[in-house]
Amino acid sequence: MEARMNLMASPVAAKAFKHIVAAAHALADSTLPFATRELVNLRASQINGCAGCIDMHTKELAHAGESAVRINLVAAWREAKVFTEAERAALELAEEGTRLADAAGGVPDEVWENAAKHYDEDQLAALVTLIAVINAFNRGNVITQQPAGDYQVGQFS
C-alpha cells in the first residue's frame, strides 16, 4: 500500500502537524501514566482504523513492558479483567471522545464523572488533550492512507 501523499512534504501540512506533534510531546510531561496514555492512543486508533498509529502504540506498549494480553485486550477492554478501574475510565472517555458523532450531546456526564473519580484536574486536561491529539493524527493518517508495519520504537521521540 502506498500513501496518497506525504503530509510532511507539504509546507502547510508540515507546519500544522509540527504543532500537533509538539502538543503530543507536551503530554509526556503530564502526571498521566505512560501506560494510560498509550492505552488511550491505541484504543482511539483502533476505533478510527489508523493502522500506522496502531502499529506505533502497540510497539511502544510492548517496549514499555506491557503484556501481550493487555495490549491485545484493549479492543475488548469492557470485558477484560486486566485493566485497572482508572484505566477503564480513561478508555471509556477515549471511546466517547472519539465517537462524538455516534451520540447526540457529546460525552455523557457519567463518563466524565467516572474519569474525574480517578484523575485530578491536570490529568483530566491531559486526557482530553491526548484524545484530541490522537484523533487528529488518526484522521490525517487514515485520509492519506499511511501504511503501517515499519514503525520503530521511539522513532518520533
User: What pLDDT is attached to residue 86?
Assistant: 98
pTM: 0.94
Q: What's the Cα-to-Cα distance from 140 to each of 44, 68, 116, 135, 151, rounded to whole Å?
A: 14, 28, 30, 9, 17
User: What pLDDT is attached to residue 24?
Assistant: 93
Average pLDDT over residues 132-140: 97
In this predicted model, which residue has the larger pLDDT, 5 or 62? Answer: 62
pLDDT at 156 over 80: no
Q: Would you say 98 and 131 are in contact if contact means Cβ atoms under 8 Å apart?
A: yes
Average pLDDT over residues 11-28: 94
Give 93-134 pLDDT, tens digit per residue: 999 999 998 877 899 999 999 999 999 999 999 999 999 999
pLDDT at 18 over 80: yes
Q: With b meaning 16 or more CB within 10 Å and e meaning fewer, what string describes 103-130?
A: eeeebeeebbebbeebbeeebbebbebb
In this predicted model, which residue has the larger pLDDT, 9 or 46? Answer: 46
Q: Would you say 44 and 98 are in contact if contact means Cβ atoms under 8 Å apart?
A: yes
**Of the ranges 7-11, 17-21, 128-132, which one carries the lowest mean pLDDT score?**
7-11
Give 81-96 pLDDT, tens digit per residue: 999 999 999 999 999 9
Average pLDDT over residues 43-57: 97
Report all structural domains of the chain as residue ranges with CATH numbers, in order of start: 7-143 (1.20.1290.10)
Residue that has been written with the C-alpha cell 485486550 in this structure: 73
User: What pLDDT is attached to residue 99?
Assistant: 95
